[in-house]
């Protein structure tokens, strides 16, 4: 699993070589703070669109900016390792910006997959890929929902 986790620089070189061999690169990203079945289904579907799936994980700092001071619950190194443990995932990288735009420009994937909670016009990086796929959200499954359920059941 550890060998799936790459720096953006190393991953850029790896992906260039794969593309030269005619491989199609798929990219998705997210916080992945508390993993659930929706994430697994996203990874499986995303991988079906190409030959290699890259998952970019928000750093602790960028996740905190997006979700607030109480997050993340799981540190970035562990989140990256957990995501790398999913069979459909070929590579994992961590990014520190609020959006993956610069990473998408650097890695140049052909396919970008995002959850259906984003409208087509909101998907960051859509102008830099050949194909954008929106994956339907798994109803009743979200990290925020799980956190609320845990708090409701076990208190503060």
- Of residues 44 and 142, more confidence is placed in 44
The pTM of this model reads: 0.92
Task: Tell me the C-alpha distance between 120 and 80, whole Å.
Answer: 26
Residue 104: domain span:
2-154
CATH code assigned at 47: 3.40.50.620
Contact 55/43 with Cβ under 8 angstroms? Answer: yes
Contact 112/126 with Cβ under 8 angstroms? Answer: yes
- Is the alpha carbon torsion for 107, 113, 116, 120 positive or negative? positive
> Residue ranges of the alpha helices (H) in the chain?
8-20, 37-47, 60-67, 76-84, 101-107, 143-154
- Which conformational region is residue 96 in: left (phi greater than 0), alpha (psi within -120 to 50 degrees), or beta? alpha
Task: Please provide the size of the chain in residues.
Answer: 156
Contact 73/36 with Cβ under 8 angstroms? Answer: no
- Which conformational region is residue 18 in: left (phi greater than 0), alpha (psi within -120 to 50 degrees), or beta? alpha
Domain count along the chain: 1
Contact 135/99 with Cβ under 8 angstroms? Answer: no
Query: Residue 33: exposed, middle, or buried by beta-carbon count in 10 A (0-12, 13-18, 19+)?
Result: buried
Q: Is the pLDDT of residue 151 over 60?
A: yes
Q: Which pLDDT score, from 0 to 100, does residue 138 have?
A: 64
- At 49-103, the pLDDT tens digits run 999 999 999 999 999 999 999 999 999 999 999 999 999 999 999 999 999 999 9
- At 93-143, the pLDDT tens digits run 999 999 999 999 999 999 999 987 778 888 999 999 999 999 887 666 677
């Amino acid at each position: 699993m550890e060998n799936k986790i790459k720096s953006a620089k190393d991953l850029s070189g790896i992906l260039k070589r794969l593309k030269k061999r005619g491989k199609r690169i798929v990219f998705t990203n997210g916080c992945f703070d508390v993993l659930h079945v929706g994430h697994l289904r996203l990874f499986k579907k995303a991988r079906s669109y190409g030959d290699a799936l890259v998952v970019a994980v928000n750093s602790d700092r960028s996740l905190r900016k997006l979700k607030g001071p109480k997050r993340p619950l799981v540190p970035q190194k562990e989140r990256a390792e957990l995501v790398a443990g999913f069979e459909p995932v070929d590579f994992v990288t961590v990014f520190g910006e609020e959006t993956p735009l610069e990473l998408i420009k650097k890695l140049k994937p052909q396919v970008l997959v995002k959850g259906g909670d984003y409208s087509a016009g909101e998907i960051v990086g859509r102008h830099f890929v050949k194909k954008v796929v929106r994956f339907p959200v798994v109803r009743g499954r979200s990290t925020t929902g799980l956190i609320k359920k845990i708090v409701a059941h076990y208190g503060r």
